[in-house]
Amino acid sequence: MSYVGPDFDPPQPRRSRRRPLTITVAALVPVALVGWLVYEAVADTGDSSDGAAPATATSASRSATASPTADGKRSASSSPTAPTAGGPAASGPLKGKVVLIDPGHNPGNFRHPSDINRKVNIGTNRKECDTTGAATNSGYPEAQFTLDVARRLRPLLQQQGATVKFTQDGDRAWGPCVNERARMGNEAHADAAISIHADGAAAGDRGFHVILPASVHEGAADTRPIVAPSRDLGERIAGSFVRVTKSAPSNYLGNGTGVVVRGDLGGLNLSTVPKVFIECGNMRDSKDAALLTSGAWRQKAAQGISEGIVSFLHG
């Protein structure tokens, strides 16, 4: 998570190219139908060219995908404050447990500067609704990274029997705001919540860190009941993340512990359920960026986060 915007050009829509009609419509129909079926069977929303493919969205989440409006803008067809369901949970040791996954930022945020720049109340003060997030020097955006890791994390938790909810799953044009993200976890009565990010620090700053909520009691914020369980959750995630990914804790924050406490993040300040952030690495460092852009490493990141959450929920 960085508070600077990505320095890459917004993706441009592809222009369709007309080709001469060389075959009849009757011949095209069955071919198109077969092609569509094949696409549906293999479609993948994340970059997984060098690793295990992330789980595809369920039919329920696909039906909630944002649709074009009359003025050409996209708007979520589901309630903007309702967490995106992740499909039915399997029976397992975490049956009955709810996990809220918050993929940081949104790939469409850069198209909506006025929406994401408006200030919202985070308890201690007012802060921007959201940001565009960071990006690697080659232009791989944090928002794409966070969605990919989140989608890989979901089935790992579901296999343990947990019910998994998302704050957004690529089904919104922008956002949600940081206060909405916190509220979604609260209203879901999540047993654990994780916000996934990647940092945008200086080159040479390497490693991951987990952010824990400080003890805040001001305005609408009161984290006192969740400070202890959030620390337990965060320390377990940090430990499993090191073990699975072999990544070192941050060399620029946390004094080598991989754990940082902050009281300035609305997603933590306004949470009433155990919640942490994880900065999986620094997108601006070339060595970290090589990991963050690897599908195989992102799968390990999801596995490390999952094992920490499962350990916490097992107690």
Handedness of CA 284, 290, 291, 295 (dihedral sign): positive
Burial of 262 (0-12, 13-18, 19+ CB in 10 A): middle
Catalytic entry in 142, 180, 235, 279: 279
Mean pLDDT value across residues 306-311: 98
279 is catalytic: yes
| pLDDT tens, residue by residue, 211-228 | 999 999 999 999 999 999
Confidence at residue 48, expressed as pLDDT on a 0 to 100 scale: 39
Instruction: Say what percent of the chain tops pLDDT 70.
Output: 72
Answer yes or no: is pLDDT of 152 > 80: yes
Confidence at residue 91, expressed as pLDDT on a 0 to 100 scale: 83
The pTM assigned to this predicted structure is 0.76
Q: Kindly state the tokens that stand for 87.
A: 């499909």
Burial of 266 (0-12, 13-18, 19+ CB in 10 A): buried
Count of alpha carbons within 13 angstroms of residue 293, beta-carbon side: 15
Confidence at residue 315, expressed as pLDDT on a 0 to 100 scale: 81
Position with higher pLDDT, 252 vs 85: 252
| pLDDT tens, residue by residue, 89-146 | 678 999 999 999 999 999 999 999 999 999 999 999 999 999 999 999 999 999 999 9
Answer yes or no: is pLDDT of 2 > 60: no
Confidence at residue 90, expressed as pLDDT on a 0 to 100 scale: 73
| pLDDT tens, residue by residue, 33-47 | 334 333 333 334 334
- In this prediction, residue 73 has a pLDDT band, given cuts at 50, 70 and 90, of very low
Whole-angstrom distance, CA of residue 54 vs CA of residue 52: 6
Q: Kindly state the tokens that stand for 105.
A: 């930022």
DSSP 251: S
Instruction: Say what percent of the chain tops pLDDT 90.
Output: 71
| pLDDT tens, residue by residue, 181-209 | 999 999 999 999 999 999 999 999 999 99
| pLDDT tens, residue by residue, 258-308 | 999 999 999 999 999 999 999 999 999 999 999 999 999 999 999 999 999
- In this prediction, residue 159 has a pLDDT band, given cuts at 50, 70 and 90, of very high
Confidence at residue 83, expressed as pLDDT on a 0 to 100 scale: 79
Confidence at residue 41, expressed as pLDDT on a 0 to 100 scale: 39
- In this prediction, residue 84 has a pLDDT band, given cuts at 50, 70 and 90, of confident
Mean pLDDT value across residues 167-191: 98
| Strand bridging mode 84-85 / 163-166 | antiparallel
The β-bridge partners of 208 are 249
CA 159 to the chain's CA centroid: 19
Supply the DSSP string of 88-132, one letter for each residue.
PPPSSTTTT-EEEEEE-S-TTGGG-HHHHHSEEE-SSSEEES---
- In this prediction, residue 15 has a pLDDT band, given cuts at 50, 70 and 90, of very low
Domain 93-314 fold: Aminopeptidase (3.40.630)
